[in-house]
Amino acid sequence: MLPSAETIQIILPVLAVLFLLLSLFNPVYGVVSYFIVLNAKLGDMYPALGQVRFELLVALFVLLRIFVEVQGLERLLPGKNPINRAYLAMFLAGMISVVFSIDPAISWEFGGYNLLRVTVFYVMVVATIKTRSDLSKILWAFVLVTAWIAYEPVSNYLSGEVLSQLYGGVAYGRFGQATGHVALANTLNQAIPITLYFGLASRKGYLKALSAAVLVLLVFGVYASKSRGGLVGLVLICLGVLYLARAKLKATVMVGSMLLVLVGFSASDYLTHMATIKEGIFASRSSSDRYIGLLNGLSMMQKRPVTGVGIGCYPEARARYFHYRFYSHNLYGELIGELGLASIAWFYWMYVVLKRARKLKQGLDPLDPGDLFYINVISAIQLGLVVRLIIGNLTHGSLFWFWYMMAALTVGVQNVLLSEDRIHAERV
């Protein structure tokens, strides 16, 4: 019998404190600590931690540790990487939009402050990754924290504790970034590429086994959430794996087997619910709202074309202009509505990240075991970003930490490759 989720909840806050102490020896452990706090939202799980501003205290401690090591700050300079330059432009666009928003107080509370938080996280990751070992520590933190998040919803689902929907009971998260069933599916999907390309590619047998177990947990969690966007994400990941695979036949067999198992276990009401995806804007309010979110964003941009309604102000602007207060449910509607033409800075930043990732991978040799490690990491970053960009039509979240972590990891990979002389500066 599996241990109850309540009995293992204490693991994350204990690990957060432990890694914070270990950061005295290596600052990358501080990043792992802050990632745990940021992702799991321990202040929600343990109100006492929220009252003492635990996240802020951890962030200040880690930043102080980084500042002690001046060399790490050099990796953040705009001239060190085009991703840093593009990020600076995006950050300034977001903060300027706060000043010129329809309500600066709301914009700062729900937009500017969150942009500052993920910027701190970006700074931490870029500044602390010095070696392959540092990179691996952060990637394992990503995989294992996501597995921890998936454990409670999946164990509850198997024991019959579900959230009732018209199409049946669904697995749902109670805390952190995975609250609800849709957010749960998105959170688990974005960790699957890292688990697949990084974890399963490990040369150590026990790490392969651990990664395989996590992968099964994440895929089943997406299935149990019964999120249509989650299913789209899984299909896109499968297509991406086939596209990136060097051994096409082996990848086809693996992906095909997984899809057959999922369909075989799916009840008829689940499949009927998934089939409503093809109805698009004419489907239920939950589906059509994704498209309306884009149209509302375009309308906001028409009203305020240069800086938009202000970062974080989409729900407020929707209430004022359309008498309907709700999030966009559409990444592109959110960005266009909140930032107007300035949203180009966000899209350009993503373009630079993907372009840099592709260029880094082109300079590596897949027949070299050392190079293959980095090729796998870059492939996971590319696939994760592309999947999230496509399903952005079904969900919002330009301030979600995932974008910032993938960008920072790309910078980190380049820095490690340069330090190991696997690539040369003039070639990138």
pLDDT tens for the chain, 428 residues: list them. 566 666 677 788 888 889 999 999 999 999 999 998 887 766 666 676 666 677 888 888 888 888 877 677 778 888 889 999 999 999 999 999 999 999 999 999 999 999 999 999 999 999 999 999 999 999 999 999 899 888 888 888 888 877 776 656 777 777 666 777 788 888 899 999 999 999 888 888 888 999 999 998 998 888 888 887 888 888 889 888 888 877 777 778 777 777 776 666 665 555 565 655 555 555 555 567 778 889 999 999 999 999 999 999 999 999 999 988 888 889 999 999 999 999 999 999 999 999 999 999 998 988 888 899 999 999 999 999 999 999 888 788 889 999 999 999 999 999 999 888 887 765 56
- The pLDDT of residue 271 is 59
- The pLDDT of residue 195 is 94
Q: Do 232 and 391 touch, CB atoms closer than 8 A?
A: yes
- The pLDDT of residue 296 is 92
Domain ranges of the chain: 1-68
- The pLDDT of residue 284 is 56
pTM, entire model: 0.90
- The pLDDT of residue 18 is 92
- Report d(CA 199, CA 70) in Å as an integer: 32
- The pLDDT of residue 265 is 62
- Report d(CA 54, CA 305) in Å as an integer: 39
3-class SS letters over the chain? CCCCHHHHCCHHHHHHHHHHHHCCCCCHHHHHHHHHHHHHCHHHHCHHHHHCCHHHHHHHHHHHHHHHCHHHHHCCCHHHCHHHHHHHHHHHHHHHHHHCCCCHHHHHHHHHHHHHHHHHHHHHHHHHCCCHHHHHHHHHHHHHHHHHHHHHHHHHHHCCCCEEECCEEECCECCHHHEEHHHHHHHHHHHHHHHHHHHCCCCCHHHHHHHHHHHHHHHHHHHHHCCHHHHHHHHHHHHHHHHHCCCHHHHHHHHHHHHHHHHHHCCHHHHHHHHHHHHHHHCCHHHHHHHHHHHHHHHHHHHCCCCCCCCCCHHHHHHHHHCCCCCCCCHHHHHHHHHHHHHHHHHHHHHHHHHHHHHHHHCCCCCCHHHHHHHHHHHHHHHHHHHHHHHHHCCCCCCCHHHHHHHHHHHHHHHHHHHCCCCCHHHC
- The pLDDT of residue 349 is 97
